[in-house]
């Protein structure tokens, strides 16, 4: 996937002529969409919910609420927090959290490939 697709914003088109959105939904317990996946990716890169939130232009409270919702939606926790101390605390993705990101990004790649192929067939 190109980096531009990784920077996809919620509601943005995946192809020039077909708009689609994709979520992973866990029996109505919650969902994972592109914004939540990006938050997890930022948390993994930065090791901090606060830094991830800031980099995405959202409040810490909003990011924390999203993380809590994702932890409740998933069958296993997606992040673990380390409490502060001399070096400060931090946040890490679990293996399950990384797996959800990988599954979402693979689904997204497949969707883009499908949409691009279908777009060539459609005449409006």
Domain membership flag for residue 124: no
**Residue 103 confidence class, pLDDT cut points 50, 70, 90:** very high
Place of tokens 């679990």: 94
Domain membership flag for residue 123: no
Averaged over 67-75, what is the pLDDT? 92
What CATH number is associated with residue 93?
1.10.10.10
Averaged over 15-29, what is the pLDDT? 80
Averaged over 7-28, what is the pLDDT? 75
Length of the chain: 124
- State the residue range of the domain holding 27: 3-117
Domain membership flag for residue 42: yes
Domain membership flag for residue 85: yes
The residue ranking higher by pLDDT, 18 or 112, is: 112
Domain membership flag for residue 55: yes
What is the domain count for the chain? 1
Judge whether residue 30 has pLDDT over 90. no
Domain membership flag for residue 122: no
Domain membership flag for residue 18: yes
Domain membership flag for residue 88: yes
Judge whether residue 12 has pLDDT over 90. no
Q: Compute the mean pLDDT over every residue in the chain, rounded to the nearest whole number.
A: 86
What is the b/e burial string over 39-65, where b = at least 16 CB atoms within 10 angstroms of the residue's CB? bbbbbbebbbbbbbbeeeebeeeebee
């Amino acid at each position: 996937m190109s980096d531009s697709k990784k920077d996809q914003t919620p509601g943005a088109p995946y192809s020039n002529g077909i708009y689609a959105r994709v979520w992973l939904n866990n029996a109505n317990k919650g969902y994972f969409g592109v914004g939540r996946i990006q938050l997890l990716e930022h948390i993994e890169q930065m090791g901090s919910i606060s830094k991830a939130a800031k980099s995405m232009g959202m409040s810490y409270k909003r990011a924390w609420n999203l993380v809590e919702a994702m932890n409740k939606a998933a069958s296993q926790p997606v992040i673990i927090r380390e409490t502060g101390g001399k070096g400060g605390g931090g946040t890490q993705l679990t293996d399950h959290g990384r797996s959800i990101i990988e599954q979402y990004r693979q689904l997204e790649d497949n969707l883009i490939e499908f949409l691009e192929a279908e777009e060539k067939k459609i005449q409006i």
